[in-house]
Structure 1
């Protein structure tokens, strides 16, 4: 029996894509012969509940939202917890991990945003600590897993690790399939946190360029607390066309995928791009940034725009909404493309990475 200590310190129940990947993978690893999983969790995650985790949780007593506590836990707490439970392996699934793990460490490194585009981090003061924490974990890792070939290239460039040390394990889709004629669709849906690289102000600028008579309502989810986009929409005079929903439950997100005419994803930088995949598999046309990683996900099934050009974003939105036949083709192509990505395959890829360092 191989005992894995899983570093869940960064998760709170509301951490977006990185938490989605961990939740989907570990919900598929229950009762796998030869594997036992123990989670070392933040106090927020313990309070929120993690029914998806296939083992017992240890409450670290540390709060992710109190960053000095969380950083201490990554540097010292995870390795101590691994020793205390007799772990054979540590998995750190959210970019950060112990610099001296004491046992083999598999690090899931979703992207190298702090190194490639540090200006996109929410705090300048956080850039150096973030780089130091990621660098320490990347050096210590016995193996690194990442989400895309674009992210892998960045990791190899920045860390200097051998190519054999970094494996791509694509995230998957939920398997949700929606009928094209399920119900009338209207409006646009976009989702993500409010970090600068998500590029929502330019999306709002694009919305303002559309004629009022045909301007769709844009719903944006993913904010915590006061939404900084509210002031942007007010300055542009488009408040009545912008619905800022904040953090939504999964059922609420599913309803928006089901009822929206298109998903718009204006990001400037990603490790993968789950909203593109999620939109395709739910029968919702996807319009997104023309960056290499999203080409890996969307292929020829989605419509692309220059994310730095609000006029081009507006043009692609207008073209898509005005052409029902094109939308129907995008739905069918997207559904086929999404079938290439499954969470079962993601879970198997993670087990292969674990086996690589414990054999």
Structure 2
């Protein structure tokens, strides 16, 4: 696929999803400015290694700044003159938002506001930003559809991401900025975050330690392989919200704004997911069955119809392929 807007600013470029998205854009010939503050939320060495790989590709440059630093962000934006912005920087993690809520307000709300203000004063062709399936909160109707209510978040993380969607819509309505907010569903894969379940499970199983299995294993997730996610993000650059809606669209009636699920629509039982990991490691996990964690939900399932209408593709990599790919990366990375 050819990207029509070659100058793309990507926030959170050193992060898990940002790294894969930048890599795909660069491989397609785009010029990319990555913005990242290399937060110590998890191992900074991992972020440095991802960035070193991006720096080997033609067309990549990096600004080591925080999106909360409005002056530094503005200078980087004006110097680079982006055609498109892909906003992936955020304070992630449902559980951590209960422990350290203030960091979520700063990174997720203030940081996003700074970017929206810059898009207002220095217009771009398309502003794309990451949201999360967590915004569906207490909804129980499956699959989750973009037109469902999202006013029942179960964690501050979900609340801050939902707030950025609302703020984004107001800016899109007031200033005409075309915006797409995409909602991620349990992303996993090589170069993942150490605080995510697959990473923690792998480390514990290899060490002969027990893994914590919440809700006594009765969990269902619409797992999304990271390379499929990055492909969907890049494809959505072309799907600029306008006046024409497609079937099942979430396009706003008063703004060039839509939200889009990025998920396969093929949920997997958590115990089956763990089983794929056990097969890939050739080792049985010691399981510590526990009750549901505060702020979590028992199941997620994406409706992928809108993504299919907009891009012609949906995530297809099953855990039986994606989990072994992660394990291979993990073993190569940590045993090299």
Q: Larger Rg: 1 or 2? A: 1
TM range (shorter): 0.3 to 0.5
With structure 1 as the length reference, what TM-score do the two structures score?
Answer: 0.38
The structure with higher relative contact order (CA 8 Å, sep 6+) is 2
